[in-house]
Structure 1
Amino acid sequence: MQTLLLLAASNIFMTVAWYWHLKGGMNKPLFMVIMISWTIAFVEYCLAVPANRIGFASGWSAGQLKVTQEAIALIVFGVFMVTVLGEPVSWRHLAAFGCIMAAVAFLFVGK
């Protein structure tokens, strides 16, 4: 559970670091946006690295950690896309999300 919470928190910071400037920050100089994003991403790394170490020490494989992280990233990004960027969710978003969730299931079956 600790691994999932840390991965979720790290993905919130990474999504903000990568996409915050698309809504209201497009007029800022690119170098400034990069510096702000790196600052935000530092927090993401401070959460993601322990999440992966804890998960690996608890018996998760690197593949399980990565695919789980991607699934969490899609959930976080989906919420960000709708709430912050105001973009609608289409059936293609849901289908892609279903494929990623299937990948997670495949890696955890029989483990």
Structure 2
Amino acid sequence: MAALIVLLAIGRVICLVPSIVAVERGHHQTMAIVALNIFTGWTFIGWVAALVWSLTMVVRVQGDRGTVPLTGQSYFGPPQLLGADHQSERSPERRLELLAKIDPPKKHRN
């Protein structure tokens, strides 16, 4: 009976590996990865998709207050680096400004 409980516990941890990886890496899509893992992780395809997604590149930008995830979200809430006025970091204008720092617009040749 004890062996069965241990096997079930190990199985549960293995099922949650994609979520654990996303949280530990500070992935900018952690909540979506956790949701995918919870709702489709019981299927092999859903589990692999969540694992691959959790291992993709984490998008971060260097802002005035340090390096933060592009979405303004880290783990399960706003980053500690942003402070009280973190809502201004989520405005569409600010996101476009941050995106321009990552991938500046290319100039067209005439």
Shorter chain as normaliser: what TM range? under 0.3
**Using CA pairs below 8 Å that are at least 6 residues apart, which structure has the higher relative contact order?**
1
State the TM-score, normalizing by the size of structure 2. 0.27
Which has a greater percent of helix? 1
**Larger radius of gyration between Structure 1 and Structure 2:** 2
